[in-house]
């Protein structure tokens, strides 16, 4: 029940900010600045819109302005419109299905 409440609160907050949100079995999808973040359903905070995305959970803090990706304060490379950043696997960052490391490769 606790997970359901958190999901409803997160989804409601996202909808209030006029962002594009969808949910499937892979996680929640948040889009901003041409980039999509796929995050676990138990997300604690996401802010997104035309200028980027900021995502915060217990273990991951990530942001993009549509051009670069920062995760936990480290540079994870450049992004371009249409890229999908996946945080659903614990401790792993993937861009378009390809593993990214803190040096941006």
List the one residue out of 50, 28, 30, 57 whose CA is nearest residue 40: 28
The model scores a pTM over 0.85: no
- The gap from C-alpha 90 to its chain's centroid, in whole angstroms, comes to 13
Instruction: Classify residue 15: in a domain, yes or no.
Output: yes
Residue 25, pLDDT score: 52
Instruction: Classify residue 11: in a domain, yes or no.
Output: yes
The Cα–Cα gap between 16 and 68 comes to 26
Instruction: Classify residue 105: in a domain, yes or no.
Output: no
Domain count, the chain: 1
Instruction: Classify residue 51: in a domain, yes or no.
Output: yes
Low-confidence ranges of the chain (pLDDT < 50): 1-23
The Cα–Cα gap between 36 and 52 comes to 9
- The gap from C-alpha 51 to its chain's centroid, in whole angstroms, comes to 14
Domain enclosing residue 95, as ranges: 2-100
In this structure, the strands spanning 52-56 and 45-49 are: antiparallel
């Amino acid at each position: 029940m606790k997970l359901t409440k958190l999901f409803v609160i997160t989804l409601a907050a996202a909808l209030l900010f006029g962002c594009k949100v969808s949910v499937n079995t892979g996680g929640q999808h948040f889009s901003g600045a041409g980039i999509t973040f796929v995050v676990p359903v138990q997300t604690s905070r996401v802010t997104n819109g035309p200028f980027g995305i900021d995502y915060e959970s217990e273990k991951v803090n990530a942001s993009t302005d549509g051009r670069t990706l920062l995760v936990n304060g480290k540079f994870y490379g450049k992004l371009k419109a249409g890229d999908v950043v996946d945080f659903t696997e614990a401790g792993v960052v993937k861009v378009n299905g390809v593993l990214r490391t803190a040096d941006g490769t």
